[in-house]
Amino acid sequence: MTLEAPPTIAASNARASIALRVLPPGLYAGRGYVVLERAFRVYRRSWMVIFSGFFEPLFYLFALGTGLHKLVGTVLGPGGHPISYTAFIAPALLASSAMNGAVYDSTMNVFFKMKYAKLYDAMLATSLGPLDVALGEIGWALFRGGLYAAGFMIVMLVMGLMASAWAVLMLPAALLIACAFGAVGMAVTSYMKSFQDLDLVQVAILPMFLFSGTFYSLSVYPAWLRVVVECLPLHHGIAMLRGLNSGVLDGAMIAHVAYFLVMAAVGLVVTARRLDRLLLR
Amino acid sequence: MSAPETAEVLARNSDEAAEALISAQGLTKRFADFTAVDGIDFDVRRGEAFGFLGPNGAGKSSTMRMIGCVAPVTAGTLRILGRDPATQGPAIRARLGVVPQQDTLDLELTVRENLYVYGRYFGMSRAALRPKVDELMDFAQLSERANAKVEPLSGGMKRRLTIARSLINDPEILLLDEPTTGLDPQARHVLWDRLYRLKQAGVTLVLTTHYMDEAEQLCDRLVVMDGGRIVAEGSPQELIAAHSTREVAELRFAPGANAAAAERLSAALTGDRERIEALPDRVLLYVADGERAVARSHEIDLFPLSSLVRRSTLEDVFLRLTGRSLVD
């Protein structure tokens, strides 16, 4: 039997060397993409599961856009410009679906794979490290979120809901939102003990979806409540996409992006450390 | 092969035999207030099949997890392939094959994909994996199920697939944690055959088991663990010689009469190593000559309902060293 491993290890070690300087040894082998590759193989057969997630925001858009639009008509969008109610909620629904997709993947799916399928135990028995696993799984959540976002944006384009050329940037922005929620979702999941704990995720997600200014402007809230909502991540996602769709870019954009970058980084580091604690003990 | 060549091969083999692939001194594993492994020493040499025997909770699996570089060492030193698992875990794991106690197959993938994807985890190229996957499916007798999902496979098939998967990176050391627990006799024998072939191919096997027949079948050398410590070490034959007698006579008396019979029989024992054990349903005589012990019993007017004379087995050693009481 010949051993193919040494040259590949050398190559991956070289790639990983930069990362190893900032991370504890053994946390990262520079091969998170193989975890992503696994996900592609799994979902190649069950693409219907993926497809279904595409419809959720569309149903909201049609139900509220056509139904409520008749009652509401035009509202004031970013920068105080009047826009149709459908165009007002469309970017918010995009942000929400990016969140929902990433959270679903990184909580339900990850919990099952961690506790029942023992998938990560199998991965960590190989030369992969916990950060490879975390990056690969979050990468998958990201790809899936990107698919949904692209599909939804095509619908927006067809329906004439895109108000500016900046709207194209909603795609990377939606990916950033998905990335941050995926990373934090996986970190939170690593603390969960049973399927009942997962219900708590919905308790956090559903109110955030309803009250983060998805369907109306935050100006309806009293000042204190507005401050609370402005601290929530989905609010930043909605404000970011709504601004991009209308082409109203201000300093707040940088704050939104920074918010999600920090959120993603914290989630990723906590996830890698928790996987290390949970599975490598 | 000419004579000098043979000599050379032999010399190299003996060199390799002396090389310790795994070496542990004072190896300790503690969880909070519980000591799972309590300062054990052992060496595993290249090409041998080394076994950890012991009841549940003896510390076998914790030891295996430390060797597999998926659990940090609390104290003591551990070197695997000359490297330190604390700093070179991934590099060591790249050269190990691991068969965990419970299958961790990927239930969302097919048989073929399980092997393929696992190879990818090791960073192997697609081109290198294609022939390797076919070869391993053949080895595991799963070629006909190549495109089947893993979930509906039988326990034996899943186990064979787990072993095939652990071989994807051509490991130098194969770690098997209770490889045949829960399998039917046919499946166990097929697995033993596969493991024997691997040993012939030069793979170093490290396994845990609480099946004595498995240890006798597979292990060149083994240690018996109890309460986190090593209580005995040697080849199966050595252990039997050191901790038991050559034969065991099992005499079954009427219910309730066994203890009294054992008392009278103890006079019949001669050798210093010989001993007697009274169980609720029978009396065990650990003796050099079983037939003679039965005859002696007849001489003192003790007629068992049935008697059986057999060779001592590892099981006798195991029960002697780790006791008969139930451990959970």
Q: Is the pLDDT of residue A132 over 60?
A: yes
Percentage of residues of chain A with pLDDT beyond 90: 48
Q: Is the pLDDT of residue B5 over 70?
A: no
Ordered by start, the domain boundaries in chain B are 1-88+174-187+202-233, 96-170, 245-311
**Positive or negative torsion for Cα A222, A225, A230, A232:** negative
The lowest-confidence range among A86-90, A178-182, A273-277, B119-123 is A273-277
Using 50, 70 and 90 to split pLDDT, how confident is the model at B328?
A: low
Sort out which chain A residues have CB atoms less than 8 A from B133's CB and list them: none
pLDDT at residue A24 in the model: 64
pLDDT at residue B99 in the model: 95
Question: pLDDT, tens digit, for every residue of B63-120?
Answer: 999 999 999 999 999 999 999 998 888 899 999 999 998 889 999 999 999 999 999 9
**Positive or negative torsion for Cα A177, A178, A179, A181:** positive
pLDDT at residue B113 in the model: 96
Sort out which chain A residues have CB atoms less than 8 A from B88's CB and list them: 25-26
Output B187 or B324, whichever has higher pLDDT.
Answer: B187
**How many other CB atoms sit within 10 Å of the CB of residue B195?**
23
Percentage of residues of chain B with pLDDT beyond 90: 59
Q: Measured between CB atoms, does A115 come within 8 Å of chain B?
A: no
CATH number of B245-311: 3.30.70
Q: Is the pLDDT of residue A13 over 70?
A: no
Q: Measured between CB atoms, does B107 come within 8 Å of chain A?
A: yes
Identify whether the C-beta of residue B192 lies closer than 8 Å to the C-beta of residue B214: yes
The pair of structure tokens assigned to B231 is 């209580």
Sort out which chain A residues have CB atoms less than 8 A from B94's CB and list them: 5, 9, 126-127
Question: pLDDT, tens digit, for every residue of B198-211?
Answer: 999 999 999 998 88
List, as one string, the DSSP characters of B7-56: HHHHHHHHHHHHSEEEEEEEEEEEETTEEEEEEEEEEEETT-EEEEE--T
DSSP state of B220: S
pLDDT at residue B327 in the model: 56
Identify whether the C-beta of residue B309 lies closer than 8 Å to the C-beta of residue B291: yes
CB nearest to B201's CB, from A1, A37, A122: A1
Question: Which CATH fold topology does B1-88+174-187+202-233 show?
Answer: Rossmann fold (3.40.50)
Task: Taking residues A156-163, report their average pLDDT.
Answer: 90
pLDDT at residue A55 in the model: 85
Query: Quick check: helix, strand or coil at residue B232?
Result: strand
Cross-chain residue pair B122–A117, CB shorter than 8 Å:
no
Q: Which one of A2, A4, A47, A275 makes the best mutation probe of the B interface by having the most chain B beta carbons within 10 Å?
A: A4
Question: pLDDT, tens digit, for every residue of A223-259?
Answer: 999 999 999 999 999 999 999 999 998 899 999 999 9
Q: Please give the torsion angle defined by the CA atoms of residues B194, B195, B199 and B202, in that order, rounded to the nearest 10 degrees.
A: 70
- Among A113-117, A138-142, B25-29, B31-35, name the most confident range: B25-29
Cross-chain residue pair B123–A123, CB shorter than 8 Å:
no
Alpha helix (H) residue ranges in chain B: 3-18, 60-67, 85-93, 111-121, 126-139, 155-166, 185-200, 212-218, 236-243, 258-265, 290-299, 314-322
Average pLDDT over chain B, rounded to an integer: 88
Helix (H) or strand (E) holding A120: helix A119-124
Q: Chain B residue closest to A3 (CA)?
A: B170
Beta strands B34-45 and B49-53 are unpaired
Question: pLDDT, tens digit, for every residue of A180-211?
Answer: 999 999 999 999 999 889 889 989 999 999 99
Chain A and chain B share a number of CB contacts under 8 A equal to 110
Sort out which chain B residues have CB atoms less than 8 A from A11's CB and list them: 123
Rounded to 5 degrees, φ, ψ at B309 are -110, 125
Q: How far apart are CA B302 and CA B261, in angstroms?
A: 7
Question: pLDDT, tens digit, for every residue of B133-182?
Answer: 999 999 999 999 999 999 999 999 999 999 999 999 999 999 999 998 88
pLDDT at residue B313 in the model: 87
Identify whether the C-beta of residue A92 lies closer than 8 Å to the C-beta of residue A214: yes
